[in-house]
Amino acid sequence: MLYYDHGIGKVFSDYSTYFSGNIDNDAFIYLTMANRVIKECNPSAITIAEDVSGLPGLAAPFRSGGVGFDYRMSMGVADYWIKIIKERRDEDWNMGEIYNELTSKRLDEKTISYAECHDQAMVGDKTIIFRLLDAEMYTSMEREKRSITLDRGIALHKMIRLITASTAGDGYLTFMGNEFGHPEWIDFPREGNEWSYHYARRQWKLAFNKQLKYSELLAFEKELLKLLANESIYTEKPVKVFQHDERQLLAFMRGKTLYAFNFSPINSYPNLRIDLPPGTYKHILDTDMEKFGGFGRIKRGERHISLREGDANFISIYLPARCAIVLKKGR
């Protein structure tokens, strides 16, 4: 509704595409007035814009010439995850590219990131977990079962959620069902499915069945959201401290928490050196914990005391394949 051409067949690659007389002023004013009315009726209300074009000022205050949304969705993030899952081997995932895609945002507008959006969950594409597991979603989700495909999918689903949430600009959205790896999209009644209501719902019962791996994915989500709240990470910007594209390693600090990722499908790294400010870094979470469907390869609660070499301070950690760890800095 923002553009006279509705953005059809248009690539918003530079600022000239926004300010070429193509903006529908009535729509712009309508959205601005709607935001003002919402805040007058309920000052604590939050409005979030979903705009694939990235119109500047959409999440800027009215007094600054903006439309007045509090946040805007980082819509490219969910599309990016599906793109690399579909088109690339795990060995070809590039850490620099991933970090740039997840952190490239305008600094003058608040943003919300999500790993999965309605494109995967509602309109006929596959959810992230469905892309990762495919047919094994229907045959292998009992907790005692193991397979290469299953272990890969469960591990990557947790890592994707953790890195998306921990690199988000100002907030993180769990899209309905992503928190426990919902196997299918919502399919509304239509001619193509003979107007059936069968798939017009989320199968929430899967998340609470302790015999299924969905419950383990949900357990990880609960700890992830607790981490985001307890550490108030969105008051600080992420600062990259380590990257190695060939070994598929990435680490960054956000406030007092360190997030370290090993996306390699085959290589684990003992004694991995990460240069950091001096202090003691305590393990508070990792994606490989057994209660999350992992292998328990990292010692819970372990403390890493920084060492000094020349002008640098560093810690040494063990980071297994397809695993992420969160450490909190103390004194």
- The domain segmentation of the chain, as residue ranges, is 15-73, 115-235, 239-329
One of 2.60.40.1180, 3.30.572.10, 3.30.465.10, 1.10.3720.10 is the CATH number of 239-329, namely 2.60.40.1180
**Residue 77 predicted with pLDDT over 80:** yes
- Check whether 122 has a pLDDT greater than 80: no
pLDDT tens digits, 207-237: 999 999 999 999 999 999 999 999 999 999 9
Instruction: Locate all alpha helices (DSSP H) within 134-198, ordered by sequence.
Output: 148-167
Residue of 72, 100, 83, 85 lying closest to 134 (CA atoms): 85
Strands 269-275 and 312-319: antiparallel
pLDDT at 124: 62
- Using alpha carbons, select from 46, 206, 189, 212 the residue that is nearest to residue 142: 212
Mean pLDDT of 253-271: 97
Mean pLDDT, the chain, integer:
93
pLDDT at 20: 82
pLDDT of residue 123: 64
Q: Inform me whether the pLDDT recorded for 19 exceeds 90.
A: no
Q: What is the CA radius of gyration of the chain?
A: 21
